[in-house]
């Protein structure tokens, strides 16, 4: 049945058609018709953030933690450009969000109108697809296409810019079933290559046979669990596969939760701040199976010598990533979950493999950093251990970027996809609190911990207002060393102690700031005080900020400098 609706109403109906019940946003002049329609509709909850960047990060955190598409709204000009950091963050980490802004009317485009910017030109390099809607007749198809693009193939962000006159114009609207969306798309709406990528790639069965043969002949197999395992929710299949072939598993920053951190086969993080066990295993294996891993410069720091003794197998859904950074002898193009299922079909009849000697070598190296524990002196491991002991095992952890991020990945043990939410590819300071808000909204029955540093937290701490208003019981733990920790560490190790502009011994007092926003907070400097504060935070039923005093010279260890061989540890 066709209805006569305005463009603003059609937009909301299309969102509901896609199963959207949550939007994060910030209104403004050009998007007011959408907000007016939202006022008169039901079924969509809107969360008003403090800054549009927070809306993008919240949509991203929602998407990563739930596996659904996250949605955010913004107005034109600075509203739209304030979304860019969040959109670029989602693009770097293959997170499916749909960001929607409204622009000036079609007649005012290109005339330097108030709050006008060519936002589609700004967004095009940092999205899977960007489209401006100037004709209400195409609006429904564009919105449907946006969700298809965001969640299909290698997921990622889509940006839609809708002119104000489109939101005001009436036209006919007919609901469409999700299964019909791709078939109904106008042929010219999406670029041909993008449209083709919406269909899952057909896995080459011959390549699967060859990889199975390589596995059976390997004496020293090694697996890298990358972000593709998390995105495809292939954790169950990877657990079966790794234990079947008896291979150690290293985990990338984006792979957290793709393989159980408590599994005896886990070697810990790999790369620049990877464990000695992970890096030594990659350097000595004879077969490296990279699952959903793009071999970034933080993993393959020196590509020419990376896994030089191994035959490298790369399994990825994106053909552009295969062989891009590290040469691979064999590749399988496809969804990681589907490929693992096919490999299991071939290998399970062969029975359990045994690589005890190889594992003995690998695990002779530490999988975690050992710290000198001193009375009254907090270490990152002590903080993380208390969190792991007191919080539920399914607690979601959102991080910002820096030393605290590496410590949280090194020392927490993630059990399922979406449990770790962190900015890996773009390295966005200020990401964590917005992402935690999105994760808490999407997972209201789970505990959400936001781990941050004093440098990152000061960037977007304004979202404490959002946390308080919506009664979100997020616990923020600040690793407070009064410096830009990771940059300070590099200045110590590489720049001869030239601490240029990394000192942060300045206001505010974080507990006082939390109280100003209507939350509670404490500053702690001992393990006992931290444990008391965390218990109080878990029991209080609302947001809480714990300011943890750390030594400014505490380092993330191990560390391999950029461009160096993966076992050239500068600090261990």
Residues 355, 247 contacting (CB under 8 angstroms): yes
pLDDT 10s digits, 275-302:
999 999 999 999 999 999 999 999 999 9
Question: In this structure, is residue 554 part of a structural domain?
Answer: no
Annotation marks residue 52 as catalytic: yes
Please report the DSSP string for 454-490 in residue order: HHHHHHHGGGHHHHHHTT--PEEEEEE-SB-HHHHHH
Residues 393 and 388: their CA atoms lie apart, in Å, by: 7
Determine what percent of the chain is predicted with pLDDT higher than 70: 98
Question: In this structure, is residue 560 part of a structural domain?
Answer: no
End position of a domain, from candidates 311, 332, 362? 362
Are 226 and 185 contained in the same domain?
no
pLDDT 10s digits, 328-339:
999 999 999 999
Are 231 and 357 contained in the same domain?
yes
Confidence (pLDDT) at 193: 83
Active-site option among 24, 123, 128, 164: 164
Are 225 and 191 contained in the same domain?
no
Domain with residue 322: its CATH number is: 3.40.50.1220
- Nearest alpha-carbon partner for 92 in 407, 393, 316, 422: 422
User: In this predicted structure, which of 146-155, 182-191, 461-470, 507-516 has the lowest mean pLDDT?
Assistant: 182-191
Are 442 and 533 contained in the same domain?
yes
Are 32 and 177 contained in the same domain?
yes
Are 396 and 540 contained in the same domain?
yes
Please report the DSSP string for 278-308 in residue order: HHHHHHH-SEEEEES----TTTSSSGGGTTT
Annotation marks residue 164 as catalytic: yes
Question: In this structure, is residue 555 part of a structural domain?
Answer: no
End position of a domain, from candidates 148, 167, 197? 197
pLDDT 10s digits, 34-93:
999 999 999 999 999 999 999 999 999 999 999 999 999 999 999 999 999 999 999 999
- C-alpha to C-alpha distances, 526 to 102, 151, 177, 282, 439, nearest whole angstrom: 50, 45, 57, 37, 29
Size (the chain), residues: 572
Q: What b/e sequence results for 497-511 when a residue is b if at least 16 CB atoms lie within 10 Å of its CB, and e otherwise?
A: eeeeebebeeeeebb
In the sheet with 129-133, reading across from the earlier edge strand, the strands are 45-48, 22-25, 70-74, 97-103, 158-163, 129-133
Question: In this structure, is residue 557 part of a structural domain?
Answer: no
The gap from C-alpha 210 to its chain's centroid, in whole angstroms, comes to: 32
Are 138 and 259 contained in the same domain?
no
Structural domain including 213 reads 207-362
Are 299 and 421 contained in the same domain?
no
Are 222 and 138 contained in the same domain?
no
User: In this predicted structure, which of 90-94, 225-229, 365-369 has the lowest mean pLDDT?
Assistant: 365-369
Question: In this structure, is residue 571 part of a structural domain?
Answer: no
Q: In the structure encoding, which two tokens stand for residue 157, read together?
A: 């962000």
Active-site option among 254, 269, 429, 486: 486
Active-site option among 114, 199, 219, 352: 114
pLDDT 10s digits, 114-170:
999 999 999 999 999 999 999 999 999 999 999 999 999 999 999 999 999 999 999
Question: In this structure, is residue 244 part of a structural domain?
Answer: yes
In the sheet with 396-399, reading across from the earlier edge strand, the strands are 420-421, 396-399, 448-453, 475-480, 544-549, 520-524
Q: What is the mean pLDDT of the chain?
A: 95
Question: In this structure, is residue 564 part of a structural domain?
Answer: no
Name the residue with tokens 């839609």.
Answer: 160
Tell whether the model's pLDDT for residue 236 goes beyond 90: yes
Largest CA distance in the chain: 72
- Residues contacting 341, CB < 8 A, separation 6+: 237
Number of domains present in the structure of the chain: 3
Tell whether the model's pLDDT for residue 179 goes beyond 70: no
Active-site option among 9, 18, 24, 52: 52
Annotation marks residue 114 as catalytic: yes
Confidence (pLDDT) at 3: 87
Average pLDDT over residues 238-249: 98
Are 435 and 395 contained in the same domain?
yes
CB atoms within 10 A of CB 264: 9
Average pLDDT over residues 179-195: 74
Average pLDDT over residues 411-432: 96
- Residues contacting 351, CB < 8 A, separation 6+: none
End position of a domain, from candidates 197, 228, 249? 197
Confidence (pLDDT) at 184: 65
Residues 277 and 269: their CA atoms lie apart, in Å, by: 9
Are 187 and 236 contained in the same domain?
no
Residues 564 and 551: their CA atoms lie apart, in Å, by: 28
Question: In this structure, is residue 398 part of a structural domain?
Answer: yes
Residues 338 and 234: their CA atoms lie apart, in Å, by: 8
Domain with residue 117: its CATH number is: 3.40.50.970
Residues 469 and 125: their CA atoms lie apart, in Å, by: 35
Are 177 and 52 contained in the same domain?
yes
Residues 178 and 192: their CA atoms lie apart, in Å, by: 21
């Amino acid at each position: 049945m066709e209805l006569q609706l305005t463009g603003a109403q059609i937009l909301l109906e299309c969102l509901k058609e896609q199963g959207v019940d949550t939007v994060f946003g910030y209104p403004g002049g050009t998007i007011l018709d959408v907000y007016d329609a939202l006022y008169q509709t039901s079924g969509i909850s809107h969360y008003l953030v403090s800054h549009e960047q927070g809306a993008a990060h919240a949509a991203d955190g929602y998407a990563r933690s739930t596996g659904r598409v996250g949605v955010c709204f913004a107005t034109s000009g600075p509203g739209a450009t304030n979304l860019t950091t969040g959109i670029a963050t989602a693009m770097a980490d293959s997170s499916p969000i749909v960001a929607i802004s409204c622009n000036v009317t079609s007649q005012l485009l290109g005339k330097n109108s108030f709050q006008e910017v060519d936002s589609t030109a700004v967004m095009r390099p940092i999205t899977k697809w960007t489209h401006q809607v100037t004709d209400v007749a195409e609006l429904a198809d564009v919105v449907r296409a946006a969700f298809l693009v965001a969640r299909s193939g290698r997921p990622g962000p889509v940006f839609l810019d809708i002119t104000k006159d489109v939101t005001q114009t009436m036209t006919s609207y007919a609901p469409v079933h999700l299964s019909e969306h791709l078939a109904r798309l106008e042929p010219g709406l999406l670029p041909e290559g993008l449209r083709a990528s919406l269909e899952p790639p057909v896995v080459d069965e011959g390549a699967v046979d060859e990889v199975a043969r390589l596995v059976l002949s390997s004496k020293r197999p090694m697996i890298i669990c990358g972000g593709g395992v998390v995105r495809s929710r292939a954790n169950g299949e990877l657990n079966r596969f790794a234990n079947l072939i008896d291979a150690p598993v290293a985990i990338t920053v984006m792979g957290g939760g793709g393989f159980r951190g408590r599994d005896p086969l886990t070697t810990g993080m790999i790369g620049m701040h990877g464990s000695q066990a992970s890096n030594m295993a990659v350097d000595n294996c004879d077969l490296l199976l990279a699952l959903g891993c793009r071999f970034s410069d933080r993993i393959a720091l020196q590509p020419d010598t990376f896994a030089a003794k191994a035959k490298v197998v790369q399994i990825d859904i994106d053909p552009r990533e295969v062989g891009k950074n590290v040469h691979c002898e064999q590749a399988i193009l496809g969804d990681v979950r589907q490929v693992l299922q096919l490999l299991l079909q071939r290998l399970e009849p062969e029975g359990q493999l045994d690589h005890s000697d190889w594992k003995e070598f690998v695990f002779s190296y530490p999988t975690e950093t050992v710290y000198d524990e001193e009375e009254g002196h907090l270490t990152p491991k002590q903080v993380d251990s208390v969190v792991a002991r007191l919080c539920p095992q399914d607690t979601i952890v959102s991080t910002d970027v820096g030393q605290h991020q590496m410590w949280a990945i090194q020392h927490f043990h993630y059990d399922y996809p979406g449990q770790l939410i962190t900015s890996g590819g773009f390295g966005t300071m200020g990401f964590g609190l917005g992402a935690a808000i999105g994760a808490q909204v999407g997972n209201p029955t789970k505990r959400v911990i936001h781990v941050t540093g004093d440098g990152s937290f000061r960037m977007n701490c304004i979202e404490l207002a959002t946390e308080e208003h919506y009664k979100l019981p997020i616990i923020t733990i600040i690793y407070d060393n009064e410096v830009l920790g990771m940059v300070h560490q590099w200045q110590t190790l590489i720049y001869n102690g030239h601490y240029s502009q990394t000192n942060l011994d300045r206001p505010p007092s974080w507990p006082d700031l939390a109280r100003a926003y209507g939350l509670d907070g404490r500053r702690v400097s001992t393990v006992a005080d931290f444990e008391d504060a965390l218990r109080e935070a878990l029991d209080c039923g609302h947001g809480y900020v714990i300011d943890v005093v750390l030594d400014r010279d505490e380092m993330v260890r191990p560390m391999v400098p950029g461009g160096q061989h993966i076992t050239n540890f500068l600090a261990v």
